[in-house]
């Protein structure tokens, strides 16, 4: 325990690790499975990759979830934050394969069984880091029931879902065009493909007509695929080619005859208006081929090499080599009419970064249309709400145009398909089929298939567990935009299909935090920050250097400051990372620490918190506190985290510290018992409302509060009173006093009055009885005694409803004072002029709302009173 008296600076690196242990040992984060989902509050974490490490996106996402969970826990709800990790098929397998490559071996060398064992070993070695990092961040998740998407129970859920959807006919096997990723050697789904700008060469190739005279010229960026051409298509209305429809052309290099067909898909204005059709290697051609019943010769295999269906001299070449060979032969034969460079977008694998090879493959698919219907309705009906709301449109647009999902992956790390083959028979079931000779399908499921079950499979589904009864459906889902389709949509569909309920009612889409140069935060680009480097202190990457200085290291900001900073950044859909915001969070924690020291060291050990005001400023702070509490709660509930964070800062700095604590210092030194109780009350309520945002420091401070019991994190806050505590009179009185002090300080500063000097003054304004002593002290004035009553003022300062007259004294420079008065007069006069002109405008008086007009009149009256007092 730090010595409060001598710890003038809050030190998060000393406090935070201690507090984490305290929380974990308390068992507070693990709720018993009791009550109903309506009474309880639950959140399922987006499961990070088991071998992953915390990045800024996680830090933001989990700061937000923890804010929600802690807030609800302190409202008295039983809270369950489901935590765990994802096996992340491709990502994890790739990691391990990379390690194997370094050892000079490969998964093929090891064989499937050994390889999978190796991945499990890898997982036990490197897995779980991120869970420890979540604890360091303060995430109040239920670590006692940590889940993994490859746990035995979880696997049962996955198998059951597969079998059930197969039996319904939604899951089926088909030979279809897929996105083949040569990098991972697997098919991947449409969502794992990204389009990139590429400059290619567009080749114009002459295909001689079968009649022996003339040729039809086609344009292509992938000449090697011509080996698999099965037709040429033109637009039916294209005058240039109409007479050729039904004719045949000779496929160069191969000699096959290609029918010239008509299809409206072809754009006459592109290239030559004639399109070569390669059904096996282009998604569009695949569709056209099916429509026209064309054969689907396939010349590029899953290994990326030319197959036996191509002429022998090309077989075995890589696609790139084949392209060079094809172009060379065509040029030799004079069949390349011309070439041009051509910029366009082509698909790349999001996983391996390699260019997608579209090809026809036998894969497992899932029909989505029927599943999508209720999931669309869930959002249009408002049972699932997106925040911000316009993200619902993104979801709906995708759902309404949903396509089949390729769910099989040619990997070894994942849930293996519960499918067995024997000759022409296929068996699908949770257990292997009886009898001999069955071969299990070697493929595994897309990782997102199992992720889609996360909110209920983690609670024990398909068993009817107490956890499921108590915590499903969950309440909020907090995630990033980029997985709305991959994950959110699929969870809603699966939740509805298998549990009959939406898996959550609110989806909060976090902003994406970008590097200062506008790029994504990414380790490989050098634009990433490790959140732990911010928390504990660590190297600052060069792009985050400030003011032209060398980057140096981050100071150890602490988890509270990082959390607060991230929340404060969270407005809009994209935000630049701002170290200043984290620094502001650090300032806040330091300020709160010192305010707490003032109170705790000042009140004495026997004081107990009680909300008993005795003065106008007491009533003021209670009123302001209640407003701040109410506002903060409302902002958290509507997922407005940046305003929640900034509003908390404003209350602590702008009201509690700048004014209230300054106002009561004399009473604190006098040891007034009622004040001590009130200060403890205000402190306790302040740290309680701040706790969901800055949990560590507030927990630490709470441990020093006399009479406080247990953990702050477990404290149930009194409900907001909805404004009943609001004390308009006290707020008005103190607000006027603040304005007066500020006006007087400004005058002092500009008139050059020495900072420590006390100046004699006379008050010429009504309504300051309760606050006069405070104003005199904070503005360093003393009231004129009876002898000074008749003196001529050397300066007159406008304050609300009147003025303060400054009487002559040695401290004052009279010229400066006069200048100030003149300036103030001019300023007031111009404001009065503005208000008068506004009120003279008949249109304004006639058409503006009465309250607005009245407010303008009141303002004019006030300004005139102030001017008169000068």
Partner RNA sequence: GGGCGCGUAGCUCAGUGGGAGAGCGCUCGCUUCACACGCGAGAGGUCGCUGGUUCGAGCCCAGCCGUGCCCACCA
CB of 133: closest distance to RNA in angstroms?
24
Distances (CA, A) of 708 to 421, 516, 564, 594, 681: 67, 44, 25, 19, 11
Give the nearest distance from C-beta 848 to RNA in angstroms: 3
Distance CA 649, CA 631 (A): 13
* Binding segment (CB under 7 A) for RNA, from list 91-99, 268-276, 316-324, 757-765: 268-276
Cβ neighbours of 857 (radius 10 Å): 13
Nearer to RNA, 106 or 841 (CB): 841
Candidates 88, 90, 134, 219: give the one binding RNA (CB under 7 A): 219
CB of 106 to RNA, least distance (A): 32
Closest distance of CB 530 from RNA, Å:
20
854 lines the binding site for RNA (CB under 7 A): no
Shortest Cβ distance from residue 824 to RNA (Å)?
A: 11
A 10 A CB-CB count for 788 gives 15
Binder among 221, 245, 376, 865 for RNA (CB under 7 A) = 221
> What is the nearest approach in angstroms of RNA to the Cβ of residue 122?
29
Q: Based on CB atoms, which residue is closest to RNA, 126 or 844?
A: 844
Q: Which of 2, 208, 268, 429 binds RNA (CB under 7 A)?
A: 268
Residue 347: strand pairing partners: 195
Interacting residues with RNA between 763 and 822 (CB under 7 A): none
341, burial (CB in 10 Å: exposed 0-12, middle 13-18, buried 19+): exposed
CA distances from 209 to 248, 311, 384, 542, 825 (A): 6, 21, 60, 62, 95
Cα–Cα separations (whole angstroms), residue 228 to 276, 299, 742: 10, 6, 83
Stretch 475-504 residues interacting with RNA (CB under 7 A): 481-482, 485
- Is 220 a residue that touches RNA (CB under 7 A)? yes
Q: Which of 129, 587, 758, 809 binds RNA (CB under 7 A)?
A: 587
User: Which of 32, 574, 822, 823 touches RNA by CB under 7 A?
Assistant: 574
* Residues in 595-634 at the binding interface with RNA, rule: CB under 7 A: 595, 597-598
Best CA proximity match to 234, nearest among 173, 275, 191: 275
Binding positions for RNA, 390-409, rule CB under 7 A: 390, 393-394, 397-398
* Beta-strand relationship, 41-44 and 274-277: unpaired
**Least spacing, CB of residue 307 vs RNA, in Å:** 20
DSSP 318: B
Determine if 857 is a binding residue for RNA (CB under 7 A).
Answer: no
* Residues 3 to 22 in contact with RNA, rule: CB under 7 A: 8-9
Tokens, residue 24: 């974990």
| Helix, strand, coil abundance in the chain, percent, nearest 5 | 45, 20, 35
Query: Which range of residues in 58-66, 134-142, 465-473, 844-852 is near RNA by CB under 7 A?
Result: 844-852
**Is 144 or 861 the residue whose CB approaches RNA more closely?**
861
Distance CA 619, CA 605 (A): 24
Q: Does 852 bind RNA (CB under 7 A)?
A: yes
- Which one of the spans 68-76, 128-136, 147-155, 639-647 is the region binding RNA (CB under 7 A)? 639-647
- Residues 824 to 843 in contact with RNA, rule: CB under 7 A: 831, 834-835, 841, 843
SS3 30: coil
For RNA, the closer CB: 460 or 565: 565
Q: Of 337, 376, 848, 865, which lies in the binding site for RNA, with binding defined by CB under 7 A?
A: 848
**Contact call for residue 756 and RNA (CB under 7 A):** yes
Site string for RNA, 321-350 (x = CB under 7 A): -----------------------xx-----
Stretch that binds RNA, among 88-96, 687-695, 804-812, 848-856 (CB under 7 A): 848-856
Q: Which is nearer to RNA, 383 or 746 (CB)?
A: 746
Rounded alpha-carbon distances, angstroms, from residue 558 to 70, 134, 139, 554, 811: 19, 14, 14, 11, 47
Stretch of 240-248, 266-274, 372-380, 718-726 contacting RNA, by CB under 7 A:
266-274
Number of alpha carbons in the 13 Å side-chain half-sphere of residue 35: 15
| Total of chain residues touching RNA, rule CB under 7 A | 89
Residues numbered 179 to 208 that lie near RNA (CB under 7 A) are 190-191, 194-195
237, 580, 813, 823: which one binds RNA (CB under 7 A): 580
Could you say which DSSP state residue 227 is in?
G
Site for RNA in 715-734 (CB under 7 A): none
Unique residue bearing structure tokens 């890898």: 122
- Binders in 271-290 for RNA, by CB under 7 A: 271, 273-276, 282-284
The only residue of 67, 119, 569, 682 in contact with RNA, by rule CB under 7 A: 569
Residue in the block written with tokens 């709160």: 592
CB-wise, 35 or 516, nearer to RNA? Answer: 516
Closest to RNA by CB, 72 vs 584, is 584
Cβ closest to RNA, residue 725 vs residue 848: 848
| Cβ proximity of 648 and 689 under 8 Å | yes
Closest CA to 684 of 661, 708, 663, 667: 708
Look at residue 783 and give its three-state secondary structure: strand
Residues 6+ apart with CB under 8 A from 289: 230, 231, 277, 279, 295, 296
Q: Is 164 exposed, middle or buried (0-12, 13-18, 19+ CB in 10 A)?
A: middle
Positions in 516-545 near RNA (CB under 7 A): 516, 518-520
Q: Report the distance separating Cα 772 and Cα 176, nearest Å.
A: 84
Distance (Å, whole) CA 63 – CA 59: 6
Based on the shown chain and the rule CB under 7 A, indicate whether residue 256 belongs to the binding site for RNA.
no
Strand partners, 445: 408
Cβ of residue 251: shortest distance to RNA, in angstroms?
Answer: 15
Contact between 739 and RNA per CB under 7 A:
no
Question: Which residue reads 């009279």 in tokens?
Answer: 814
Element at 125 (helix H, strand E)? helix 112-126
Site for RNA in 34-93 (CB under 7 A): none
CB of 518 to RNA, least distance (A): 5
Answer for which of 108, 240, 242, 267 binds RNA (CB under 7 A) is 267
Provide the minimum distance between the beta carbon of 412 and RNA in the complex, in angstroms, as a whole number.
Answer: 27
Nearer to RNA, 755 or 810 (CB): 755
Nearest to 832 by CA among 855, 861, 811, 805: 861
Q: Tell the smallest beta-carbon distance from residue 143 to RNA (Å).
A: 31
State the nearest-atom distance from the C-beta of 367 to RNA, in Å: 17
Cα–Cα distance, 492 to 503 (Å, whole number): 6
Rank residues 59 and 595 by Cβ distance to RNA and give the closer one.
595
Could you give the CA distance from residue 754 to residue 752 in angstroms, rounded to a whole number?
A: 6
Query: CA-CA distances (angstroms) from residue 49 to 126, 128, 487?
Result: 11, 10, 14
Residue pair 276/206 in contact by the 8 Å Cβ criterion: no
Q: Which residues does residue 358 pair with via DSSP β-bridges, in sequence order?
A: 179
The answer to whether the Cα torsion of 315, 316, 319, 324 is positive or negative is negative
Query: Applying CB under 7 A, does 658 fall inside the site for RNA?
Result: yes
């Amino acid at each position: 325990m730090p010595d409060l008296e001598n710890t003038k600076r809050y030190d998060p690196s000393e406090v935070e690790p201690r507090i984490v242990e305290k929380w974990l040992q308390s068992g507070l984060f693990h709720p018993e499975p009791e009550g109903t989902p309506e009474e309880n509050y639950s959140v399922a974490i987006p499961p990070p990759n088991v071998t992953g490490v915390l990045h800024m996106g996680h830090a933001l996402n989990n700061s937000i979830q923890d804010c929600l969970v802690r807030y609800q826990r302190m409202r008295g709800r039983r809270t369950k934050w489901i935590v765990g990790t994802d096996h992340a098929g491709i990502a994890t397998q790739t990691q391990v394969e990379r390690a194997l490559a370094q050892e000079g071996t490969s998964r093929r060398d090891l064989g499937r069984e050994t390889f999978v064992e190796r991945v499990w070993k890898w997982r036990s070695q490197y897995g779980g880091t991120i869970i420890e990092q979540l604890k360091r961040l303060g995430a109040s998740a239920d670590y006692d029931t940590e889940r993994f998407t490859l746990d035995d129970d979880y696997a049962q859920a996955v198998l059951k879902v597969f079998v059930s959807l197969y039996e319904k006919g939604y899951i089926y096997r088909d030979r279809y065009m897929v996105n083949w990723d040569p990098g991972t050697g697997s098919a991947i789904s449409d969502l794992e493909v990204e389009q990139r700008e590429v400059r290619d060469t567009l080749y114009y190739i002459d295909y001689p007509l079968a009649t022996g005279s003339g040729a039809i010229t086609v344009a292509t960026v992938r000449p090697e695929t011509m080996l698999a051409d099965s037709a040429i298509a033109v637009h039916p209305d294209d005058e240039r080619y109409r007479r050729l429809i039904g004719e045949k052309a000779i496929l160069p290099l191969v000699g096959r005859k290609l029918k010239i067909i008509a299809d409206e898909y072809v754009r006459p204005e592109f290239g030559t208006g004639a399109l070569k059709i390669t059904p096996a290697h282009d998604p569009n051609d695949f569709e056209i081929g099916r429509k026209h019943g064309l054969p689907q010769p396939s010349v590029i295999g899953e290994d990326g090499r030319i197959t036996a269906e191509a002429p022998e001299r090309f077989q075995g070449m890589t696609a790139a080599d084949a392209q060079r060979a094809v172009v060379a032969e065509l040029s030799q034969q004079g069949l390349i009419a011309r070439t041009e460079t051509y910029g366009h977008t082509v698909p790349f694998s999001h996983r391996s970064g390699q260019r997608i090879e579209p090809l026809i493959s036998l894969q497992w698919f899932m029909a989505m249309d029927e599943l999508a219907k209720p999931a669309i309705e869930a959002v249009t009906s408002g049972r699932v709400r997106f925040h911000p709301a316009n993200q619902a449109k993104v979801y709906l647009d995708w759902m309404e145009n949903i396509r089949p999902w390729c769910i099989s992956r040619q990997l070894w790390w994942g849930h293996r398909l519960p499918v067995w083959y024997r000759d022409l028979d296929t068996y699908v079931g949770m257990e292997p089929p009886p009898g001999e000779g069955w071969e299990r399908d070697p493929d595994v499921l897309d990782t997102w298939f199992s992720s889609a079950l996360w909110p209920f499979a983690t609670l024990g589904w398909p068993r009817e567990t107490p956890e499921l009864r108590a915590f499903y459906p969950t309440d909020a889902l907090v995630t990033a935009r980029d997985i709305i389709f991959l994950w959110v949509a699929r969870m809603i569909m699966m939740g509805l299909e298998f549990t009959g309920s939406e898996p959550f009612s609110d989806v909060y889409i976090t902003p994406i935090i970008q590097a200062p140069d506008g790029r994504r935060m990414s380790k490989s680009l050098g634009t990433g920050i490790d959140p732990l480097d911010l928390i504990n202190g660590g190297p600052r990457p060069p792009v985050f250097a400030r003011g032209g200085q060398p980057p140096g290291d981050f100071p150890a900001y602490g988890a509270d400051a990082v959390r607060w900073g991230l929340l404060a950044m969270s407005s809009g859909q994209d935000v630049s990372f701002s170290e200043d915001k984290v620094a502001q969070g650090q300032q806040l924690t330091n300020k709160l620490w010192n305010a707490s020291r003032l109170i705790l060291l000042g009140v004495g050990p026997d004081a107990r918190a009680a909300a008993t005001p005795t003065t106008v400023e007491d009533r003021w702070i209670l009123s302001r506190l209640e407003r701040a509490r109410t506002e903060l709660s409302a902002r958290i509930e509507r997922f407005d985290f940046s305003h929640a964070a900034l509003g908390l800062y404003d209350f602590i700095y702008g009201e509690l510290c700048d004014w209230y604590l300054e106002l009561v210092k004399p009473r604190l030194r006098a040891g007034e018992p009622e004040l001590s109780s009130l200060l403890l009350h205000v402190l306790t309520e302040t740290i309680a409302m701040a706790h969901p945002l800055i949990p560590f420091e507030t927990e630490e401070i709470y441990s020093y509060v006399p009479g406080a019991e247990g953990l702050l994190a477990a404290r149930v806050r009194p409900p907001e009173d909805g404004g009943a505590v609001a004390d308009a009179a006290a707020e008005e009185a103190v607000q006027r006093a603040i304005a007066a002090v500020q006006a007087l300080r400004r005058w002092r500063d500009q008139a050059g009055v020495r900072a420590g000097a006390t100046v004699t003054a006379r008050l010429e304004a009504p309504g300051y009885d309760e606050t006069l002593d405070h104003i005199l002290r904070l503005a360093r004035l003393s009231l004129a005694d009876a002898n000074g009553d008749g003196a001529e003022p050397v300066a007159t300062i406008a304050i609300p409803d009147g003025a303060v007259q400054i009487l002559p004294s040695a401290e004052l420079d009279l010229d400066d004072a006069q200048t100030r008065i003149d300036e103030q007069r001019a300023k007031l006069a111009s404001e009065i002029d503005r208000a008068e002109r506004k009120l003279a405008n008949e249109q304004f008086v006639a058409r503006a709302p009465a309250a607005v007009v009245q407010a303008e009149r009141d303002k004019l009256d006030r300004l005139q009173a102030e001017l008169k007092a000068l």
